[in-house]
Structure 1
Amino acid sequence: MSAASIYSTTGTVASVFQRMSQNGRPDMDIVFDNHKEGKTYTTFDAIAGKVNITAPHEARFDEIQITFEGTARTAIENLSPHTTKSRTTARHNFLKLTMPIKESDYPQPRVAEAGRTYTFPFNFVVPDQLLPRACSHSTVGDHVHHAHCQLPPSMGDRTLPLKDDLSPDMAIVDYAVRVKVIRSRERDNKDMVLVEGLRKIHIIPAVSEAPPLNIRLADKDYALSKTKSLKKGMFSGKLGKITVSAEQPGALVIPSPASTTKAQPTTMATVNLRFDPHDASSQPPRLGGLTTKIKATTFFSTRPAIDFPAQFSQQVHFETTRGIYDTSVSLNSRCVESVAWTQQCASPAYSRRGSSTSTSSSDDYSDCTQSSPETGNTYYTASILVPITLPSSKAWIPSFHSCITSRAYCIDLSLTIHTPGTGVPASTVHLHVPVQIAADGNNGRRASLTAEEAAIELAEQEAEEYLRPRVLEVPREELIGRSVLGSAAMELPPSYDDFAPRQVVDPGRG
């Protein structure tokens, strides 16, 4: 027997039925199949159950609406003295699926008997994307419109028994099954809600890993490389300069809710170091500690976004219709003093090579242990592998961009560098590397294909059809010539003799 969880709510009664409130209001029970508190649904999951409605008094109604809805709500505090409103709010109903109810499921006539319970089943499936009309505003490109047509994850809803998802109160995305009992008013045929109830659920849709973020020079949100000059001492000369860089790591993938794995999402980042000494006697500095944090940035607005907000977040602080909420979570801190430096020798840009020198290698550096270094051509490199694991103390949601809300993540790396001289404080280099959080969906259903994958699959099908074995045989005699009309029907196909070269006969011979 399948487990079921029941959620009861007291409906609101219209003014014409206020007399019913004296002895009790209609009860509405929304029952979910195979549900438990804190359960998470994902793409292609079924949301099935039933609605039980009990009326304490006899009442006429016309329709019962059962819908599965997704809503985003945002709020911006007004700091301007020119307005009387304390905040501006926005609401975006991006999803609404309606459960059809058969005529035979309604009582005939449509009058609810006192004390009788009426049951109406429902069955929804979490879609893999929204309809194009869910994002009807203008955007800078199709890629933004495509992102806005993806399901956003549940976010910021404090009514569900879940962990902190690092969202502010000004940005909420929720999903719910909503039930309404409707009656048409006789004088103007206007629909009037007699009873309304809803049950919220938590959804983390499947999100695939996107290509690495294209970081523009003017974007100050991220810093993938930094160079810092080092000194030997307070009053000493230069030691050299060190460059710390990192590439965007792979996505952190949230496992499917149906997965049995207990491991937290993990990825690996690589920090590359390069030290260019000021002179041949300068040695690489001693490394200290490496601290890693993940920063979650929530963008919210009361107007639809025409572009991805992460690319111009510096301007957001000066817009009255947009807001940003940043929060960081510490991941790890460790000592990297034991990281080994490798001496490298830069190849000269232009140099003559002997005829025996191989030209197959295009490396711009080589190991200098076999040759004496030259001033200005020697540098040192090192690499640090940084494991990144999301802590289980938070409820992580995928990266996403919708019309009025977005979520982006960034890895903050802080590396401490010590110089050999005394009196010089340790230097710290900070990197801000973007990272994605993706999510696995329902493994029992195939994920939707991208345009490239669909084209490849179509090409494979065409190739398979072309190479499919066929049986060729001579047609039966009664079928020959049936496709030609008139007297030409009995003509045979031409033979090689018809195309033989003509011979010229000398009339004098014979």
Structure 2
Amino acid sequence: MDSFTRKVSRLKIGIDLKQQAPGFVPSYTTLDRIEGEVTIQADRDTTFDHIAITFDGTSTARVQRQGSMAHPSNDISATHQFLRLRQPIDHNSYPEPRQFKPLCLYKFPFTFVVPEQLLPQSCSHSTDNPHLQAAHMQPPPSLGDPMMASDGKTLLDDLAPQMSEILYRIRVSVYRPNTTDGKLVPVTAVAKKIRVVPASLEQPPLEVTCNCTDDYRTRKEKDVRKGLLGKKTGRLVMAAAQPKPLQLPPPGEETDNTINSHLTVHVRFDPENDEQPPRLKSLWSKLRVLTYFSAEPFTTFPSKSMALMWSSMQGVYTETVDLSSLCVLSAQWEKHAASENVRRGSLESTASVNTITGPSASYSGKDFYTASIIVPISLPKTKAFVPTFHSCLNSRVYALDLSLSYQSPSAKVLVSSVSLKIPIQITSPYRETASLDTSDPVLSQMQVEEEFYRPRSIAPPSDEYLEQDSLLRASSRVSAGDFPEDGSPPDYSMTVQPQNTRTSSSCPRRRDYMMLAAC
């Protein structure tokens, strides 16, 4: 009866990060040190066994059922904890006996480093591509939480759907032994969200086979006519290659420079006879943002055809961001003799402005015209972009939508257009101050040789050593808490359970957020 009437002790746990400006989202990148301090206060005597301070990374994906199964209770969700780093705590730091006293403040410092790669246990599923396996070993960026997509002044949209979420947290758990069976049970646990944007390097350009797929189109041909049903005057060709990536600044660093790149659009006109080329009017550019999510680990690089047609366990959400609208009336056509034509078999020739675009399918060996348009690419500052990444359950890729309008010389009103979808990457650099920890002393060659030739003892260990080793093993098993013995993060988990989300014909956006508090 005493256990029912006794008031449960409450612990006040605080997680304070060093060098963190008030009001700003704590943001980190690869090799950044996450330093801070955990403070604990109790309102009455509270017995405990140990404290666990961890740096966790978790990704979540949820796929909505379609048709007659479209109900929140039938949604399939998967969770993957890809990162768990634990802060070792010296046992001498604990009070003796292990009991929190009221009106006393207990402090426990911690230090974590954002890793460059994840442990092999973090991606244990099979893949069809070794490059995908390597991509899954890179830490993904924070995604899907509007509180974490902030510049410190306003909440920004990271263009993620409600079905994708990647969270990083500093978690503090206090454990005590159960009075009945002696097993360790959590007294309380709190967590603090942080934003992580890992450094990512430029990857090789994508190879778009046949110049057109469900995701990309690097070359497009279209007939040019005098009117809607008029006579064909020639064939227009529009082509472009993948540009240099857009490079984000390291998180937390303010910069006045605009995130920009550029590409060159090559246009060619093959006339039927001696017709003049069409008048180029405008060129619009948009950034297409594609977020892929899956309730089972990806075994190949996601694409629209695979996500939407071949599996009910995967999905894709697309957003479009307007970039620019250019007037290209001043673009000059350059006439070339038939002898100048060079047949190109790939888009490698489009890297230069002066390169001639390959002939169209209806080219008859006559004179032709070419033009080149340089298109600037700048990211707006009203959105929170994340680098291109591929993880086990979520992926983010980008593409440029280019639309060129033109008008036939004989047409008075009718304006036609031709469009491309060009792949583009977004990367994030390392900080200039980033460096590996070189504080460990470097042994000289003499010290190495002395250590190498020093005699070793091959005698059995003494009884005293065996006794100490058994005690250490027993202590480590008790203090391990809820962590697996091999230290690896938990595996994938998939559940089918109700979700508090609205249902509509379109893919919902994330508008809600969860604030972590004491459990």
TM-score by length of 1: 0.76
Deviation at 1:376, TM superposition (A): 3.6
Equivalent in the alignment of 2:233? 239
Out of 379, 383, 387, the residue aligned to residue 376 of structure 2 is: 387
CA distance in 1, matches of 2:355, 2:379: 37
Amino acid of the structure 2 residue aligned with 1:330: D
- Report the RMSD for the aligned CA atoms in angstroms: 2.6
Equivalent in the alignment of 1:66? 53
Equivalent in the alignment of 2:204? 211
Deviations 1:279-300 (A, max 9, x none): 02x0110011110000110000
CA distance in 1, matches of 2:192, 2:432: 26
Out of 286, 292, 312, the residue aligned to residue 320 of structure 1 is: 312
Verify: 1:27 aligned to 2:12, yes or no.
Answer: yes
Deviations 1:355-401 (A, max 9, x none): xxxxxxxx9979xxxxxxx9842000000000001110001100000
Alignment of 1:195-210 (within 5 A): 195-210=188-203
Q: Residue 344 of structure 1 contacts residue 365 of structure 1 at CA under 8 Å; is this kept in 2?
A: no
CA distance in 2, matches of 1:386, 1:108: 68
Q: Residue 276 of structure 2 contacts residue 409 of structure 2 at CA under 8 Å; is this kept in 1?
A: no
Deviation at 1:259, TM superposition (A): 4.6
CA distance in 2, matches of 1:80, 1:59: 53
Equivalent in the alignment of 2:30? 43
Equivalent in the alignment of 2:434? 445
Deviation at 1:446, TM superposition (A): 4.6
- Most deviating of 324-333 and 236-245: 236-245
Deviation at 1:191, TM superposition (A): 2.2
Out of 91, 98, 112, the residue aligned to residue 110 of structure 1 is: 98
Out of 266, 270, 285, the residue aligned to residue 264 of structure 2 is: 270
SS at match of 1:133: helix
Out of 374, 377, 382, the residue aligned to residue 366 of structure 2 is: 377
CA distance in 2, matches of 1:173, 1:198: 15
SS at match of 2:111: strand
Given the superposition, is the C-alpha separation of residues 153 and 287 from structure 1 closer, same or farther in structure 2, using an over 3 Å criterion?
Answer: same
SS at match of 2:132: helix
CA distance in 1, matches of 2:204, 2:356: 30
Equivalent in the alignment of 1:251? 245
Verify: 1:98 aligned to 2:86, yes or no.
Answer: yes
Deviation at 1:81, TM superposition (A): 3.8
CA distance in 1, matches of 2:268, 2:436: 42
Structure 1 unmatched ranges of 5 or more: 1-14, 351-362, 367-373, 449-510
Structure 2 unmatched ranges of 5 or more: 151-155, 343-353, 358-362, 438-519
Alignment of 1:99-498 (within 5 A): 99-160=87-148, 162=150, 163-217=156-210, 219-234=213-228, 236-257=230-251, 259=253, 261-280=255-274, 282-310=275-303, 313-318=304-309, 319-347=311-339, 376-422=365-411, 425-446=414-435
Amino acid of the structure 1 residue aligned with 2:265: V
Amino acid of the structure 2 residue aligned with 1:214: E
Bigger radius of gyration among the two: 1
- Most deviating of 235-244 and 287-296: 235-244
Q: Residue 339 of structure 1 contacts residue 382 of structure 1 at CA under 8 Å; is this kept in 2?
A: yes
Amino acid of the structure 2 residue aligned with 1:229: D
Given the superposition, is the C-alpha separation of residues 26 and 329 from structure 1 closer, same or farther in structure 2, using an over 3 Å criterion?
Answer: same
Q: Residue 277 of structure 2 contacts residue 409 of structure 2 at CA under 8 Å; is this kept in 1?
A: no
Percent sequence identity over aligned pairs:
38
Deviation at 1:423, TM superposition (A): 6.1
CA distance in 1, matches of 2:217, 2:399: 10
Deviations 1:446-493 (A, max 9, x none): 589xxxxxxxxxxxxxxxxxxxxxxxxxxxxxxxxxxxxxxxxxxxxx
Q: Residue 149 of structure 2 contacts residue 158 of structure 2 at CA under 8 Å; is this kept in 1?
A: no
CA distance in 2, matches of 1:413, 1:425: 20
CA distance in 2, matches of 1:216, 1:226: 13
Given the superposition, is the C-alpha separation of residues 69 and 109 from structure 1 closer, same or farther in structure 2, using an over 3 Å criterion?
Answer: same
CA distance in 2, matches of 1:345, 1:48: 67
Amino acid of the structure 2 residue aligned with 1:274: R
Deviation at 1:408, TM superposition (A): 0.2
Amino acid of the structure 2 residue aligned with 1:43: T
The alignment of Structure 1 onto Structure 2 pairs a total of residues equal to 410
SS at match of 1:222: coil
Deviation at 1:196, TM superposition (A): 0.5
CA distance in 2, matches of 1:346, 1:247: 24
Amino acid of the structure 2 residue aligned with 1:152: P
Q: Residue 287 of structure 2 contacts residue 399 of structure 2 at CA under 8 Å; is this kept in 1?
A: yes
Q: Which has the higher contact order (CA 8 A, sep 6+)?
A: 2
CA distance in 2, matches of 1:436, 1:17: 59
Q: Residue 279 of structure 2 contacts residue 329 of structure 2 at CA under 8 Å; is this kept in 1?
A: yes
SS at match of 2:202: coil
SS at match of 1:347: helix
Deviations 1:113-147 (A, max 9, x none): 12322111101111111111110000002111100
SS at match of 2:306: helix
CA distance in 1, matches of 2:103, 2:4: 16
TM-score by length of 2: 0.75
Q: Residue 341 of structure 2 contacts residue 356 of structure 2 at CA under 8 Å; is this kept in 1?
A: no
CA distance in 2, matches of 1:382, 1:55: 74
CA distance in 2, matches of 1:128, 1:115: 41
